[in-house]
Every structure is written in structure tokens, then in C-alpha cells.
Amino acid sequence: MGLAYNSRMYALASKLIGLPILSLQNADTITRVAGFVMEIKSLEVVAFTCEPHPQIGKHPVLLLRDVRQVAIDCLLVNTAEDLVEAEDIVRLAPLLERNFDPRGLRVVTDLKRRIGKVEDYTINLQTYHLQKIYVRQSLVHSWIGASLIIDRSQILEVSEREFIVRDATIKTSHGTNVLAPKPVPKQ
């Protein structure tokens, strides 16, 4: 998949939104990325939604199979014909109706501790899965430390309202799990 954002091919969702989509056929800008069509169960991006285009329609969609390359400053496709009107792709209809966007969702632990809200997320550009979520903590906690980064492996469950993530626990000498203490802020 071409040029990478970093050696592991990850990109922040906020950096992909607004990228121009260029045609390899004539090097023209066709449209721009407006968002993502994401499967909530697998957290996989299945298509890009695009800004309206007079020749394509009001709701153009770019399927991942039609992306030739993801570069730092653009997405490359063969031709403008690779973009299609959203209503023409029947299998995407349920996902488009759901319009799942992780940004703004609550993040709570399996022990029901509130952590904050998803501020951004990283997409793996090789698999197109959500890889990490960046969590903005509450105002009080944000003064103490920076935002939290939670890896995909720590996500236990996702709903339309929240992410449930594994809480930080430690095993005692008696074999029971207890809540890990919060880190002491650096002075």
C-alpha cells in the first residue's frame, strides 16, 4: 500500500479526513475524504465516505479495494469511476444507516470506571482495522496527565454508546485481582 505515515502503517483518523482523492489516470483531484464506513463488531473500515461530487452524486463512497495507494498527502485511485454513489452499494446500506463513529463515545472499564471519551483513533493502513483509541479524560484528570492511548487488544466490547476496556488490575500474592493504583503525577 505505498507510502506510510510511519513504519507500521498507522494513521490518525483525523489526519485522513479531508485528504484529497486523486486519479492516477489524469492526476486530478476528484473529491476529498469525508469520513469512514466502519463495521462496529470488527472495528474495520470497509469504505471511505467522500465529499459530494457533481458527476458522482451527493454521497460518494470509495471502497477499500479501489484504493491504489494511501500517501501522506492524498489517496490514489485509478479513475473517478472508482467512486460510486452510496445508495448503489446495497451491502453498505446497514453500515451507512448506523453511521458508527468512535469519536465522542464514552470509554469505561470492565469494572465500571469512567475513563473519558474517544478523541481520535488510529487506523492500521494494512488491515484497515481500528488499532488504538485516544481518550480525552475528564477535566479534573486531564490536568493531572495527558490523554490516554488504549490499544485494540485492551478493548473488550463496543456498542453504539461506549467502549468497554480492560481495567488495570494486578494479581496479589493470594491470587486475587485488585485494582491497580493510579500513577502518581510527576512534579
pLDDT of 3: 41
β-sheet bridge partners, residue 84: 61
Give yes or no for residue 110 having a pLDDT over 50. Answer: yes
pLDDT band at 1 (very low <50, low <70, confident <90, very high): very low
CB atoms within 10 A of CB 52: 11
Give the domains, in start order, of the chain with CATH numbers: 10-98 (3.90.50.10), 106-179 (2.30.30.240)
pLDDT band at 186 (very low <50, low <70, confident <90, very high): very low
pLDDT of 71: 86
pLDDT in tens, 125-168: 999 999 999 999 876 555 566 679 999 999 999 999 999 999 87
